[in-house]
Amino acid sequence: MPLPYVLLSAAVSLDGYLDDTGPERLLLSSPADFDRVDEVRASVDAILVGAGTIRADNPRLLVNSAERRAARTRAGRSECPLKVTVTASGDLDPAANFWHTGGEKLVYTTDKGAERASGLLGSSADVVPLGPDLDWRDLLEHLHDVRGVGRLMVEGGGQVHTQLLRQGLADELQLVLAPLFVGDPAAPRLFGPGGYQGGRLRLCDTRRIEDVVLMRYEPTAPGAGPVPTAADRHWLRTACELAALCPPSDTAFSVGAVVVAADGTELARGHSREGADPVVHAEEAALAKTDPADPRLPGATVYSSLEPCARRASRPAPCAERILAAGVRRVVTAWREPDTFVAGADGTGVLRAGGAQVVVLPELEELAKAPNAHLLG
């Protein structure tokens, strides 16, 4: 199911704290950085904070620039993004600024929390119970499907950021490092203890903004099971984009593939008809660049814009078999093979019979098909 693009935004001290324990919100960003945050707010459909941040900061979470609000209105959007919070207790102060500024407000909670939140807030917000416990994926699906949110900015606090990152639901982290120390172990930290992705995140961008530094990171570690993560979507999109590099053909699909280790390290990438080989397939080209003895292959994921082939005339081994032979046991793809060249090709079936897991992301199917439009009639 498609989910919103989830952008985590936070500012931290040099010792990793989000705030101090004083009554006022600690300003970690510089003035120009707060303006950057305002620009990001103006670009999104919704902003989410945890109930802890509403209690601690009493935020308004508005687009502060009149020009940016006007630009949103001109584009047919609401002046300010939808404001969203999460609570299990339902214990929300009805006098908080959150409810009395900006446009629509939405509270995600549990069945139990909903009674309390609805009683306290009345008509100030839509209260949506998500069952006995709050599942983040359900929340994001609801935001996407019911509220039409394509891009979500999450402005903390630490509990919320930690859960979204650990559950593989964050597409991007925009982190600002501020040149000051908090030094109080009772203060809230950005990320709490627990299991995170192995390996390193990808550093996409850094920017000096007055005396703070903005770092943009993307999680890279593939998901571990049948449920796709934000990193899975990222890598599959990369595979789909690689297909644009294929020399054109009227007799074969244009496909891109990437092989990624469990810690998010890219092992190889390839595309159809790469180099001087007029018949090579994307997965075959990518796997040819890996070392068959690489101990990371059994834990790796192959991303392929089109389902790996099950039969082919041009070479003895189809890609589904090559993937199994390489020891890879997880494949993520956007598009099941149509009957255009091979009737009833079922690479997914071959892979599953060989013990590999195949995850299909239909939301990227159109992107995978785009360089093949001339073949699809």
Ligand X SMILES: NC(=O)C1=CN([C@@H]2O[C@H](COP(=O)(O)OP(=O)(O)OC[C@H]3O[C@@H](n4cnc5c(N)ncnc54)[C@H](OP(=O)(O)O)[C@@H]3O)[C@@H](O)[C@H]2O)C=CC1
What is the contact surface with ligand AOF in residues (CB under 6 A)? 11, 25-29, 37, 49, 53, 57, 59-61, 155-156
Nearer of residues 13 and 220 to ligand AOF, judged by Cβ:
13
Smallest separation, CB 166 to ligand X (Å): 11
2 binds, among ligand X, ligand AOF, none (CB under 5 to 8 A by kind): none
**Choice between 23 and 248, CB closer to ligand AOF:** 23
Which one of ligand AOF, ligand X, none interacts with residue 70, CB within 5 to 8 A by kind? none
Binding partner at 306 among ligand X, ligand AOF, none, C-beta below 5 to 8 Å by kind? none
Q: Which residues touch 63 (CB under 8 Å, ≥6 apart)? A: 38, 41, 42, 69, 72, 79, 80, 81
- Least separation in angstroms between residue 2's CB and ligand X is 21
The DSSP string of 346-371 is -HHHHHHHTT-EEEE-GGGHHHHHGG
Residue (161 or 281) nearer to ligand AOF, CB: 161
The DSSP call for residue 234 is H
Task: Output the CA–CA distances (angstroms, integers) from residue 223 to 95, 152, 204, 236, 323, in the order listed.
Answer: 41, 21, 20, 12, 18
Q: Please say which residue, 29 or 110, places its beta carbon nearer to ligand AOF.
A: 29
User: Minimum Å distance from CB 74 to ligand AOF?
Assistant: 22
- Beginning with the edge strand found earlier in the chain, give each strand of the sheet holding 301-306 in spatial order: 266-271, 256-260, 301-306, 330-335, 357-360
Q: Which does 102 bind (CB under 5 to 8 A by kind): ligand X, ligand AOF, none?
A: none
User: Which residue lies nearer to ligand AOF by CB, 55 or 352?
Assistant: 55
What strands lie across the sheet with 151-154, from one edge to the other? Answer: 126-129, 105-109, 82-87, 46-50, 151-154, 5-12, 172-177, 212-218, 202-209
Q: What 8-state DSSP symbol labels residue 50? A: E
Choice between 216 and 296, CB closer to ligand AOF = 216
**CA–CA separation, 322 and 154 (whole Å):** 41
Residue owning tokens 């297909």: 243
Between 101 and 249, whose beta carbon lies closer to ligand X?
101
Taking the complex as a whole, the smallest distance from the CB of residue 203 to ligand X amounts, in Å, to 19
Q: With respect to ligand AOF, which residue has the nearer C-beta, 29 or 333?
A: 29
Q: Give which of ligand AOF, ligand X, none residue 127 binds (C-beta under 5 to 8 Å, depending on kind).
A: none
Please give the structure tokens belonging to residue 296: 């990371």
159 binding partner (options ligand AOF, ligand X, none; Cβ < 5 to 8 Å by kind): ligand X
Q: Which of 372, 346, 336, 143 is nearest to 254 (CA)?
A: 372
Q: How far is the CB of 4 from ligand AOF (least distance, A)?
A: 18
Minimum CB separation from ligand X for residue 177, in Å? Answer: 11
Instruction: From the list ligand X, ligand AOF, none, pick the one residue 142 interacts with, judged by a Cβ distance below 5 to 8 Å according to partner type.
Output: none
SS3 377: coil
The site partner of 168 among ligand X, ligand AOF, none (C-beta below 5 to 8 Å per kind) is: none
Task: Please work out, in degrees rounded to the nearest 5, the angle formed at the alpha carbon of residue 38 by the alpha carbons of 212 and 188.
Answer: 55
Residue 173 backbone zone (phi > 0: left; psi -120 to 50: alpha; other: beta): beta
| Both structure tokens of 2 | 């498609």
How many Å apart are CA 207 and CA 271, to the nearest integer? 33
Give the footprint of ligand X on this chain (CB under 6 A).
Answer: 10-11, 18-19, 25, 28, 49-53, 56-57, 86-89, 91, 134, 155-160, 163, 188
Tell me which residue of 60, 68, 120, 64 sits closest to 90, measured CA to CA. Answer: 120
- Return the number of the residue (49 or 231) whose C-beta is nearest ligand AOF: 49
Rg over alpha carbons for the chain, rounded to the nearest Å, is 23
Shortest Å distance, C-beta 327 to ligand X: 37
The CB-of-103 to ligand X minimum distance in angstroms stands at 20
Choose the one of ligand AOF, ligand X, none that binds residue 81, judging by a C-beta under 5 to 8 angstroms depending on kind.
Answer: none
